[in-house]
């Protein structure tokens, strides 16, 4: 009895030389190790809200994971230039000699105050109406002031979070973008819109050349549809869509063809009638003799 051959189910399947190597594994033909699957790393500063764009990315590029990297405002520049993120949602201004930037939107500036503060009597205030109050100015302030409003504090808090704590303690008020007021929400604090304060702008920024993945994200934040590039390519190729046949044209065509067929039937019956009169068929064929009518004399 010959040797027993291993079952087919028990033998490992071997990939042919045409099959690509999996990420991180050496290729069987060349012996080189394939590069890992790409990942798009998106940095974002406090207050920026990338959620809707992240959802769109997941729908359009499910094979490329998007990794969110939370960074403080002061560390955004270093994160992008150091390659720790492919792109970032940052606050302007940025160093345009080093970073590319596309402004996305400007935020409303609000003043954060205790709930029982005098400012809450109005729906909105101006910078001048805050002149009698101590206005805190943290070191990570993202608003660009020509001159600081209100009365200066004894010292500047290091962060916006520290300034929020001082406002809750009744030491002063704080002007911030509305997103930061919501981020640091407390039950004992509220905010009001400041009509004439400078605004903070959120921008998409990246360092160096624009990669394909960065270009994809630019399209998403700018609202391009998934087929927009195809449409532009089709227009560039000179392809034009054929005009659709309208209902009126279809009706007109049908009527003309009906008239043609109807006209043919009428002409056919007319010719047969003429033939009956000239050929003596018709009533003459029934056996009755037709007598010619007498002519009247003039």
Instruction: Provide the β-strand partners of residue 163.
Output: none
Model pLDDT, residue 103: 97
Which tokens in the block code for residue 68? 């969110």
Model pLDDT, residue 271: 44
State which residues of the chain have pLDDT below 50: 4-23, 25, 230-250, 252-253, 255-258, 260-287, 298
Model pLDDT, residue 52: 95
Model pLDDT, residue 91: 96
Q: What CATH number is given for 108-194 in this structure?
A: 3.40.190.10
What is the domain class of 40-105+201-228 according to CATH?
Answer: alpha beta
Delimit the domains of the chain by residue range: 40-105+201-228, 108-194
Model pLDDT, residue 192: 98
Distance (Å) of CA 39 to CA 18, 85, 191, 215, 261:
26, 10, 39, 14, 68
Question: Is there a common fold for 40-105+201-228 and 108-194?
Answer: yes
Nearest CA to 99 among 110, 107, 111, 91?
91
Which tokens in the block code for residue 138? 């943290």
Model pLDDT, residue 297: 54
Tell me the whole-structure pTM to 2 decimals: 0.65
């Amino acid at each position: 009895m010959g040797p027993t051959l291993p079952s087919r189910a028990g033998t490992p399947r071997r990939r042919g030389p045409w099959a690509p190597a999996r990420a991180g594994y050496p290729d069987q033909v060349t012996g080189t190790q394939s590069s890992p699957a790409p990942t798009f790393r998106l940095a974002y500063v406090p207050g920026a809200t990338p959620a809707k764009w992240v959802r769109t990315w997941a729908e359009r590029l499910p094979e490329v994971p998007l990794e969110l990297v939370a960074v403080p405002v002061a560390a955004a520049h270093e994160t992008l230039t150091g390659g720790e993120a492919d792109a970032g949602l940052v606050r302007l201004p940025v160093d345009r000699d080093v970073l590319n930037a596309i402004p996305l939107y400007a935020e409303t500036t609000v003043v954060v105050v205790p709930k029982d503060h005098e400012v809450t009597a109005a729906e909105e205030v101006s910078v001048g109406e805050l002149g009698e109050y101590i206005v805190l100015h943290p070191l990570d302030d993202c608003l660009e002031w020509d001159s600081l409003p209100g009365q200066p504090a004894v010292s500047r808090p290091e962060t916006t979070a520290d300034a929020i704590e001082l406002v809750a303690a009744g030491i002063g008020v704080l002007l911030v973008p509305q997103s930061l007021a919501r981020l640091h929400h407390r039950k004992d604090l509220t905010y009001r819109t400041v009509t004439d304060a400078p605004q903070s702008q959120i921008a998409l920024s990246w360092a160096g050349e624009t990669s394909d993945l960065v270009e994809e994200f630019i399209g998403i934040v700018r609202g391009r549809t998934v087929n927009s590039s195809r449409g532009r390519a089709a227009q560039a190729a000179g392809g034009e869509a054929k005009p659709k046949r309208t209902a009126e044209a279809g009706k007109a065509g049908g009527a003309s063809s009906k008239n043609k067929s109807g006209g043919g039937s009428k002409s056919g019956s007319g010719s047969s009638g003429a033939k009956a009169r000239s050929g003596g068929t018709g009533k003459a064929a029934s056996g009755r003799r037709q007598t010619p009518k007498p002519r009247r004399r003039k």
